[in-house]
Structure 1
Amino acid sequence: MKKGLIRTMLSAVLGLACAFAFAGEVQVAVAANFTAPVQAIAADFEKDTGNKVVASYGATGQFYAQIKNGAPFEVFLAADDTTPAKLETEGMTVPGSRFTYATGALALWSAKDGYVDANGDVLKKNGFTHLAIANPKAAPYGLAATQALDKLGLTQAVSSKIVEGQNISQAQQFVATGNAELGFVALSQIYRNGKITSGSAWIVPASLHEPIKQDAVILQKGKDNPVAKQFTDYLKGPKAAAVIKSFGYQL
């Protein structure tokens, strides 16, 4: 009985070892706003499958240029739906692999408690020195910020106060370090499980900017890597959905 139990345990351990011995990985380009969610999802994915996500983070526009220049990415999680669609029309993606994995929200944020009011009137009062946004030419959340300012009729009034980050992570850093009193960031950067995690914020109404639909796609470099499809399928599953929602995204 004891020998049989040992054999069973040994078989289980060997089976697990074999599974991980053949574990694969996938190279994923991730829009900066999705950094924290994908880190949590990747950890679950590795735990559940034994396969690893090797992620790089940055601005969607910059990733587009890198992909066009032969970067080794196999999956692209963009901060918009137009860039993956463009890559699709250019034959750079696996046909039929594109889907919307999240819809983002924009927030006006300050690291200081009570600095940003519930209606975002701090913008109209214009008593700040610096307003951080991501580069609108490369980062969809930066573009959404400029659209919101335009809708509010504040573009001209605040133009001299804007400081641009290369991506949304850098824009958030400007605010977090106090180099800008406030800035437009992705809600996911400052939100977890129904709460703003630090400072004060106004969630910008979706009516003030175009929808921030974020699409994922398998790139041509990932067409022969089964882990690429396994990861995008996992991204559509319930465990990933729960993580995505916890950061304030809609599905």
Structure 2
Amino acid sequence: MPFPLRPIALALISAAALPLGAGAAEVSVAVAANFTAPMQKIAALFEQDTGHKAQLAFGATGKFYAQIANGAPFQLLLAADDTTPGKIAREGLGDGGSQFTYAIGQLALWSRQAGYVDDQGQVLKKTDWRHIAIANPRLAPYGAAAMQVLERLQLLQTVQPRMVQGENIAQTYQFAASGNAELGFVALSQIVENGQLREGSAWRVPATLHAPIRQDAILLKTGQGNAAAQALLQYLRGDKARAIISSYGYGF
């Protein structure tokens, strides 16, 4: 049964109203939606430790690429894949030498209902659920990975008629969290913290069922010469950031 889909707005962390301290700078960062929770924590520590401020916008990597190509004033991109930053570098929109993998994503099949998803994903073969949420595979790498999983399991034809598509992984999670979809292919980072499932039930999808979700950062052309942008790239490689990233289920 169809149901209305409500677009999710970009989440923003605004810079504080107080003036920046001496030597401090500000950087505008486009962040893949799956990385929302860890990046919010990292940004707070980054400001505390360096004095620099990060303005964060969260959304689909594919949409961010289109915005950057059309002159959006982002200075850093934290993508949900490694191909988009590579494309940005080839097109002269970013510094290819700055590109690095800040996290390797983990896909999960999740339901807000405890005990609903088994630890082998066999629930996908059942017929008593109506909807499964998947991020738009053309825009969101986690959506592309979900489609690869279904193809590998030879379930795409039976599951596809019941798919509802989120614009990005944040909207996809909302469809499952609201109950509009009984199941959702989401980022593990959206449902765990400190290694523990926050609610519901989930199958951690084996990485062998899809291409690696390498999430790369890149300094954009507009960020060259920005001290905060350079500092944040370095901070993401540090122990404090990596501890946060790992606590949300990402690899390196």
Contact conserved, 2:140 with 2:168, CA < 8 A, in 1?
yes
2: CA distance between counterparts of 1:20 and 1:126?
Answer: 59
Match of 1:10 in 2: none
Which TM-score applies when normalising by structure 2?
0.91
Match of 1:77 in 2: 78
Match of 2:66 in 1: 65
Change (3 A) 1:18 1:25: closer
What are the equivalent positions in structure 2 for 1:32-43 lying under 5 Å apart?
Answer: 32-43=33-44
Match of 2:230 in 1: 229
CA-to-partner distance for each residue in 1:211-243, whole Å, 9 max, x for gaps? Answer: 000000000000021110100000000100000
1: CA distance between counterparts of 2:87 and 2:128?
Answer: 40
Larger Rg: 1
2: CA distance between counterparts of 1:36 and 1:215?
Answer: 17
- Runs of 4+ aligned structure 1 residues displaced above 4 Å come to none
What are the equivalent positions in structure 2 for 1:94-113 lying under 5 Å apart?
Answer: 94-113=95-114
* Aligned-CA RMSD value: 1.3
Match of 1:7 in 2: none
The residue type paired with residue 136 of structure 2 is N
Unaligned 5+ segments in structure 1 are: 1-16
2: CA distance between counterparts of 1:37 and 1:90?
Answer: 29
Determine what percentage of the aligned residue pairs are the same residue. Answer: 59
Contact conserved, 1:145 with 1:184, CA < 8 A, in 2?
yes
1:18 to partner: Cα distance: 9.8
Match of 1:117 in 2: 118
2: CA distance between counterparts of 1:125 and 1:163?
Answer: 17
1:24 to partner: Cα distance: 1.4
The range that moved more, 86-95 or 129-138, is 86-95
2: CA distance between counterparts of 1:224 and 1:21?
Answer: 17
The residue type paired with residue 98 of structure 1 is Q
CA-to-partner distance for each residue in 1:142-180, whole Å, 9 max, x for gaps? Answer: 000000000000000011100000000000000000000
Aligned length: 235
Contact conserved, 1:126 with 1:158, CA < 8 A, in 2?
no
The residue type paired with residue 30 of structure 1 is V
For 1:114, what is the secondary structure of its paired residue? coil
Match of 2:177 in 1: 176
Change (3 A) 1:85 1:121: same
2: CA distance between counterparts of 1:206 and 1:95?
Answer: 27
What are the equivalent positions in structure 2 for 1:128-167 lying under 5 Å apart?
Answer: 128-167=129-168
1:21 to partner: Cα distance: 4.5
Change (3 A) 1:227 1:123: same
Match of 2:203 in 1: 202
